[in-house]
Structure 1
């Protein structure tokens, strides 16, 4: 008969396992990210239509937003504006015009800081404080958020989800904030940095309507007319989600029945 003798684990192994357990419990959101990578924002969607999401971020500035609104009205296009709440509070008439023109208002947070550097409580405060300002100005429900600088982690997405938000990124970047010139902005959207990576149905395009992106005003009409000429429809992200059969990446977890903006 074989006798199996189990050796008592060394104190060093016990200590190491104890430390690992402590880290997993204390930082479970980040551990989830490392081991599963499940929580992702929405970068684009799969659609059976020729719809493309058009979005603009605004966190500061006085000059660019109004000309962009004029262009969108002239072209008969609605978009999603991700607004920092301090900017929105300072420019309430422009925000009300956005709503009157049929645009969707979404959150770009309160302070323009990387949410992934904050604790869950601080993230929740950033989201809810911005929500209060935006909903008070617009009279509309705000349930889409784009984190400042696109910075996120599991904690950001889990907290946003708990508050009923979807975290929205982008799949086509105009890079307008780099001020490369209007023609470069047009090329970034229509053709992309790699061959075949330009805007197509289901994509979400990122522009800025802050004063950091003066080239957008000249580039936008060209982009809109070119995409329209190919049979595409430009619309707010909320409407795009309502047409989606799924979102990308799959971990972005599209809810069962997305609703159009109110």
Structure 2
């Protein structure tokens, strides 16, 4: 007969397990974000309407933003502009026009660098530095962010979420920054980079209003008019989120993850 002897754990082992348990409970959100591998930005949403989010990134340039604002005003479209804070500080009149025209302002960060290369404290500093500038210029509460170059990881998303931000990606890419020509920009949005993946309700479209994307000025009227003919409404991302029953991918529903402890 085999006898199994259970040894009483030492006080040191018990202390170590106690410390580990305390760390997990106290920092459970950080632990989840690091080990789950599931934190994602919002690429699109599920809606019962025919609304589509329209967004523009601006980090540099003098020529493209104003013509785009003219087109949006003529077409009666309100969009979300993700602005880098140095650009916004330098072009305050244009930013104030965006606000006056009814557009939503989001953050495109401070320095145009990949936040994934920074530590949590540096990420927080980048976000808050941009927030201070953007809120002073716009008078809006800034709580949407599109990270520079769309770069993200758990650390970036968790830090942004902790600061009250929702990280916004895109599901339809115009690729206008590649300067493929206006016809290609139109096709990328309406038909998709792969056939059948064009803009549809709940999608978020990515454009640029920096000077790197001059084709957008010529492509935008056609895109707007074609989507209107399909019965779609182009709206700011913040409004799209208000209508959403859920966001995609599921890992972007951070509040739900926190509640379930996943």
Distance in 2 between residues matched to 1:193 and 1:33, nearest whole Å:
31
Distance in 1 between residues matched to 2:182 and 2:61, nearest whole Å:
19
Any unmatched runs of 5+ in structure 2? 7-19, 257-262
**Alignment deviations for residues 205-259 of structure 1 (CA, whole Å, 9 cap, x no partner):** 0000000000000000000000000000000000000110000001111659xxx
Distance in 1 between residues matched to 2:29 and 2:215, nearest whole Å:
39
1:77-226 aligned within 5 A: 77-226=77-226
Distance in 2 between residues matched to 1:128 and 1:34, nearest whole Å:
22
Q: 1:169 offset after TM fit, Å?
A: 0.2
**Alignment deviations for residues 85-140 of structure 1 (CA, whole Å, 9 cap, x no partner):** 00000000000000000000000000000001100000000000000000000111
Q: 1:3 offset after TM fit, Å?
A: 4.6
Distance in 2 between residues matched to 1:219 and 1:106, nearest whole Å:
23
Distance in 1 between residues matched to 2:33 and 2:242, nearest whole Å:
28
Asked if the contact 1:246–1:254 (Cα under 8 Å) also holds between the matched residues in 2, the reply is no
Q: 1:159 to 1:182 in 2, by over 3 A?
A: same
Distance in 2 between residues matched to 1:239 and 1:255, nearest whole Å:
19
Distance in 1 between residues matched to 2:99 and 2:146, nearest whole Å:
18
TM-score by length of 1: 0.86
Any idea what SS the aligned residue of 2:245 has? Answer: strand
Report the RMSD for the aligned CA atoms in angstroms: 2.1
TM-score by length of 2: 0.86
Match of 1:248 in 2: 248
Match of 1:43 in 2: 43
Asked if the contact 2:107–2:146 (Cα under 8 Å) also holds between the matched residues in 1, the reply is yes
Distance in 1 between residues matched to 2:38 and 2:101, nearest whole Å:
37
Asked if the contact 1:247–1:254 (Cα under 8 Å) also holds between the matched residues in 2, the reply is no
Corresponding residue pairs, total: 238
Distance in 1 between residues matched to 2:230 and 2:254, nearest whole Å:
28
